[in-house]
């Protein structure tokens, strides 16, 4: 509550601008009687913000700065305002919107997303056990498995810094029979 105005902040993951705008639409439906629904999103190099009727630069820009200040990506932040009858002035609006967004992001749970590298593994049948052991040893995400006449072919996802170690482990465990390639 700031000078009788109520500010509600919502932050959620958004992987595309359409995801972000769908969240905005849902919040407008959920709070149809709110005075303003100001917002900003950052998705990789793309960003956008909107003041929704507040004086220019007093809502969307401070929300965007809060996102950038927290160092988060793939996020949509919406601050819903219920006007309380007292004009806050431009400085007061900037502090209210930016502070509400920053506090929301500061206290929100975070999920770190690290990119993975796809690796294709080909191994004769007699070494399949070694491959499964290596998969359990490394932090992998298994993909498609194909059993052919000459053995197993499968795709796995690894963190890039583990690819060389994984490849060496497979080579050693299969006495050189495993063949890996980046997908």
CB atoms within 10 A of CB 23: 20
- Mean pLDDT of the region 118-128: 93
Q: What is the C-alpha to C-alpha distance for residues 75 and 106, in angstroms, rounded to an integer? A: 13
| pLDDT exceeds cutoff 70 at 1 | no
| Predicted pLDDT of residue 111 | 84
- Where b means 16+ CB within 10 Å and e means fewer, 62-87 reads bbbbbbeebebbbbbbbbbbeeeeee
The owner of tokens 């070494």 is 127
SS3 (DSSP) at 138: coil
| pLDDT given at position 118 | 93
User: For the whole model, what pTM was predicted?
Assistant: 0.68
How many Å apart are CA 83 and CA 67, to the nearest integer?
24
Q: Calculate what percentage of the chain has a pLDDT beyond 70.
A: 98
Residue written as tokens 């819903």?
80
Rounded distance between C-alpha atoms, residue 178 and residue 126, angstroms? 11
Res 47: pLDDT:
96
pLDDT at 34 over 90: yes
pLDDT score, position 120: 94
């Amino acid at each position: 509550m700031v000078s009788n105005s109520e500010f509600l902040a919502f932050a959620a993951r958004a992987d595309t601008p359409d995801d972000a705008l769908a969240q905005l639409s849902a919040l407008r439906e959920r709070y149809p009687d709110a005075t303003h629904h100001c917002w900003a999103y950052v998705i990789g190099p793309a960003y956008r913000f909107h003041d929704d009727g507040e004086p220019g630069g007093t809502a969307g820009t401070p929300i965007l700065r809060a996102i950038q200040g927290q160092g988060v990506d793939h996020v949509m932040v919406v601050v819903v305002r219920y006007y309380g009858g007292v004009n806050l002035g431009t400085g007061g609006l900037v502090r209210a919107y930016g502070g509400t967004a920053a506090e929301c992001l500061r206290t929100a749970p975070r999920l770190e997303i690290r990119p993975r590298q796809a690796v294709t593994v080909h191994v004769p049948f007699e070494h399949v056990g070694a491959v499964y052991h290596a998969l359990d040893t490394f932090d992998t995400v298994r993909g498609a498995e194909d059993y052919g006449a000459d053995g197993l072919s499968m795709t796995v996802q690894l963190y890039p810094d583990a690819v060389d170690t994984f490849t060496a482990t497979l080579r050693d465990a299969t006495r050189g029979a495993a063949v890996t390639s980046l997908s």
